[in-house]
Structure 1
């Protein structure tokens, strides 16, 4: 008999599949090649891998701030009861909806989780030259996570721990909860 947690994961995976089937799609190859062109241009503009890493994370943050609204609207999600439940929603619904990939959650606690991408559409057709070995090519995803979670009142720190472009078997992103934000409402009558 499946545990309650396993049933929730299956339900979230089904929700991710259903939501993915409802959204407009772009060719994975076109997406990957376009992203590659953006990264190449950033490297040319900034002439520094570290500066390009910062810009990729900022771009992702700005995307995440907007993407969370679409996720919440199309997936009709209820508020998550815990940070580990948030991890499952991000992995099973968010990544499926926007990238069409299944992502596994590892080491989920009340303040941290890790996302494991066995397939990373951003890294398709990519090979990093030696001078770019420190490039966080998938750093955009860290920014997306940071921006999206901030919009649902969670300040997080995201870091890319492993990447298939660095020779690792999977891409691994660590998400650390720094603070739960409190939404403050200002009374206009005062």
Structure 2
């Protein structure tokens, strides 16, 4: 039997320590959220944006918990960061293993391949939503928000989805810039993203 790689071991350990939520309840709750957004906005492209925005705010909040509970140290570059996201973060919070592939020559763009997505349990999209609604788009927002808090500005978008007939769900992630922020600027970014609850009296 092959020995698990370091990031995989870290992810497995972190997952074993996390409180668990019933998978069926989790999927149905997320499904209810998406359904309500569709009713509220009707335009599926707007729903995609709303899911991305929600995910961004979640990602901003998850960083502290991730760093505290995973024990992961600073990553040297975007490639190392992507591996940590795939093997540790996805495992820690969703209990799934994600594969990193299709790097560009510069090491600034890659694909995250999701074979088992707990958000899509019990879901079947109508053909009219194919190519328009990215049902799990909240995950793209989570990536953006979390990585921005560690000073990496990225673009993330689904390019494949098992709900649309693809064999695997694929998030294409592109590093746009590495932020060089002072502590004051970073504090301001966090306050803007998290709202009044973060601000000190």
TM-score, with normalisation over the residues of structure 1?
0.91
Aligned equivalent of 1:144: 142
- Take 1:84 and 1:52, find their aligned partners in 2: how far apart are those partners? 30
Where does 1:18-167 land on structure 2 (aligned, <5 Å)? 18-109=13-104, 110-133=107-130, 134-167=132-165
Q: What's the CA shift for 1:158? A: 0.5
Q: What's the CA shift for 1:183? A: 1.8
Runs of 4+ aligned residues of structure 1 deviating over 6 Å after TM superposition are none
Aligned equivalent of 2:195: none
Aligned residues: 180
RMSD over equivalenced CA pairs, Å: 1.4
Unaligned 5+ segments in structure 1 are none
- Take 1:165 and 1:35, find their aligned partners in 2: how far apart are those partners? 15
Asked if 1:179 corresponds to 2:181, the answer is no
| Residues 109-141 of structure 1: per-residue CA shift (max 9 Å, x gap) | 521111001111111100012332221101111
SS at match of 1:177: strand
- Take 2:123 and 2:135, find their aligned partners in 1: how far apart are those partners? 9
Is contact 1:20–1:97 with CA below 8 Å preserved after alignment?
yes
- Take 2:103 and 2:89, find their aligned partners in 1: how far apart are those partners? 17
SS at match of 1:119: coil
- Take 1:42 and 1:185, find their aligned partners in 2: how far apart are those partners? 36
- Take 1:49 and 1:85, find their aligned partners in 2: how far apart are those partners? 34
Is contact 1:87–1:108 with CA below 8 Å preserved after alignment?
no
TM-score, with normalisation over the residues of structure 2?
0.86
SS at match of 2:96: coil
Is contact 1:68–1:148 with CA below 8 Å preserved after alignment?
yes
Unaligned 5+ segments in structure 2 are 185-201
- Take 1:138 and 1:164, find their aligned partners in 2: how far apart are those partners? 11
